[in-house]
Structure 1
Amino acid sequence: MIKQRITNHRLMKRIWQHKLFYLFMLPGIVWFFLFSYVPLYGIQVAFRDYTFVGGFTGSPWAGFKYFEQFFNYYQSGDIIRNTVIISLMKLLIGFPMPIILALLLNEVRKLKFKKTIQTLSYLPYFVSWIVVVTLMQRLLTPYGGPVNDLLGSLGTESIQFLNNPTWFYQMIVGSDIWKNIGWNSIIFMAAIAGIDQQLYEAAKMDGAGRFRQMWHITLPGIRNVAIILFILAVGNLMSAGYEQLLLLNGPATASMGSVLDVHAINSGIREGRLSYAAAVGLFQSIIGLILVLTVNRIARKVSDVSLF
């Protein structure tokens, strides 16, 4: 008991010594509490026959009725499979890309050129998916689009890139990488900047070239950051990105592009089945939590790096 009081006293003393840092953390803590924890009260919508009149507590209890409806839905298996396939492709192909970009930018010695590439690469992150898809439609259309005009000038037939099952996954993954690669690389650039420069000087003295320095110093230096971000990315494996799929999916690709996010949005907003949509969303969150806990445990055993 006395030992616990001493520990608590030391903790409070440290907090008071660094009170300004905790004060800077306060807006973020308040934001997370208001927008991430308070809405958890609405989880009960998935277990009720929700109506606007009854509200959260006045609507009749439904139990697992809407979960059963989803799993009994004849397309539920296809929807889950499509979500996992698209998310896995984004994870396996898209996750290493910011690391590669950060490593390449780190090797650029001309500062002006480096800053220009950085700016151009992360600008698409601030562009909405509506604008991105509109640009893709204008550029890739076979009816006067510049890409197909270029292919035609080279003697190649026009290609229907959008709403085409053959090119569907390439368009989804490619546009996602183009939009997010620059912004995601900022974290790895910051991690690289924190590596002790004396390690590079020692490697040069030992005769190591730039590639060996990258392999033996830079990559190990950002390993912990990459593992943490990978764990968080795995948690989004059941979320393929509703806005992108909602805009790029069409009648010809419906069998490939129907994912949980779009299904939940359509059910909740278009059809007004709020309890059903909440059940689908809760299912996504539970699977995501299980994946994060599992991968986090594996990472802690394999590399001693974990979220908690």
Structure 2
Amino acid sequence: MTEPASKAESRPSDNFRRILWKRIWQHKIFYLFMIPGIVWFFIFSYVPLFGIQVAFRNYTFNGGFTGSPWAGLKYFRQFFDYYQSTEIIRNTIVISLMKLGIGFPMPIILAVLLNEVYRMKFKKVVQTLSYLPHFVSWVVVVTLMQRLLSVYGGPVNDLLASFGLERVQFLYNTAWFYQMIVGSDIWKNIGWNSIIYIAAIAGIDQQLYEAAKIDGASRFRQVWHVTLPGIRNIAVILFILAVGGLMSAGYEQLLLLNGPATARIGSVLDVHVITSGINEGRLSYAAAVGLFQSIIGLLMILTVNRIARKVSDISLF
């Protein structure tokens, strides 16, 4: 009597599996496109997780990952006992918050403005010019900044001098450090980050704009009541992901734009990790600091995701 019952109980799961595999087979082309991304993430994101144990070992090249002796939380304590650890964490958070608070809305604004442009040639030119800096390395960007903003011979300071104004030391100056960091980051990434918003705007039902026009809504009202709500979900999701990088202010940019004069406000965790690990050879210490960054980033994503789910019913999971 029990056998038929067990078979009956297994039927729903069997049906579910059959339906699932049927759907997978129907959309097999799309799953094939996913394979390269899955392989990439597995090789470069999941396999390296094996190396996390370096943060808890006295790593030596002879011992390797598994042969080096355990050190426990030694390197975590070593970082928090470091006299500049509080300053480095504070600088990282301050710079990241400035980039997030000022830089995050900029791609949205650019996407909305481009959507209001009717001349396609002008629109394409602006899009192309805004995308290009993303593909330029920070080394080239900083070199251009040095040439343009140089106190003597730089066109910007020459222009100021021609108007009778004093020349300004823009780079490696604490008074202009944050402006240079945030401004160059926005200039480099605004076009690339606006692509997803432009795509989201293109997917908004045009009948909503027509209905707004019939109701007498101006262009500004159409943007406020149709365009922005149409991209709200995308913006919230990207904001949650951006908050996850709060403990990562950017390695290359800070390494190149920071100097002895600005070290007090420009030393960040990314540069500290690379300097400790590569320049000084303290691999276990660098791994511990990097793991600390990742844990804080994960906690931030989970926290903001939970808040977003309660406030707007939009979340990653």
TM-score (norm: length of structure 2): 0.96
- Structure 2 residue identity aligned to 1:247: L
Query: Are 2:219 and 1:210 aligned?
Result: yes
Report the 3-state secondary structure (helix = DSSP H, G, I; strand = E; otherwise coil) of the residue aligned with 1:290.
helix
Moved more, 3-12 or 67-76: 3-12
In 1, the alpha carbon distance for the partners of 2:76 and 2:146 equals 37
For residues 76-95 of structure 1, the C-alpha deviation after alignment (integer angstroms, 9 at most, x for no partner) is 00000000000000000000
- Structure 2 residue identity aligned to 1:261: D
The residue that corresponds to 1:11 in the other structure is 20
Query: Are 2:171 and 1:159 aligned?
Result: no
- Structure 2 residue identity aligned to 1:69: Q
- Structure 1 residue identity aligned to 2:76: F
In 2, the alpha carbon distance for the partners of 1:13 and 1:290 equals 38
In 1, the alpha carbon distance for the partners of 2:13 and 2:98 equals 49
Runs (4+) of structure 1 moved beyond 6 Å? none
Q: How does 1:177-256 map to 2 (within 5 A)?
A: 177-256=186-265
The residue that corresponds to 2:36 in the other structure is 27
Residue in structure 1 matching 2:183, options 158, 170, 174 = 174
For residues 121-145 of structure 1, the C-alpha deviation after alignment (integer angstroms, 9 at most, x for no partner) is 1100000000000000000010110
In 1, the alpha carbon distance for the partners of 2:17 and 2:64 equals 42
In 1, the alpha carbon distance for the partners of 2:168 and 2:304 equals 40
In 1, the alpha carbon distance for the partners of 2:44 and 2:172 equals 36
For residues 46-101 of structure 1, the C-alpha deviation after alignment (integer angstroms, 9 at most, x for no partner) is 01111111110011111111000000101000000000000000000000000000
Moved more, 121-130 or 198-207: 198-207
- Structure 1 residue identity aligned to 2:58: D
For residues 109-168 of structure 1, the C-alpha deviation after alignment (integer angstroms, 9 at most, x for no partner) is 000000000000110000000000000000001011000000001111000000000000
In 1, the alpha carbon distance for the partners of 2:207 and 2:263 equals 55
- Structure 1 residue identity aligned to 2:180: M
For residues 262-301 of structure 1, the C-alpha deviation after alignment (integer angstroms, 9 at most, x for no partner) is 0001000000000000000000000000000111111111
CA deviation after TM superposition for structure 1 residue 5, in Å: 2.8
In 2, the alpha carbon distance for the partners of 1:296 and 1:80 equals 23
Give the greater-gyration-radius structure (CA).
2
Q: CA RMSD in A?
A: 0.7
- Structure 2 residue identity aligned to 1:232: L
The residue that corresponds to 1:288 in the other structure is 297
Give structure 1 stretches of 5+ with no counterpart: none
Give structure 2 stretches of 5+ with no counterpart: 1-8
Identical counterparts, % of pairs: 80
In 2, the alpha carbon distance for the partners of 1:260 and 1:82 equals 8
Query: Are 2:103 and 1:91 aligned?
Result: no
In 1, the alpha carbon distance for the partners of 2:57 and 2:14 equals 45
TM-score (norm: length of structure 1): 0.99
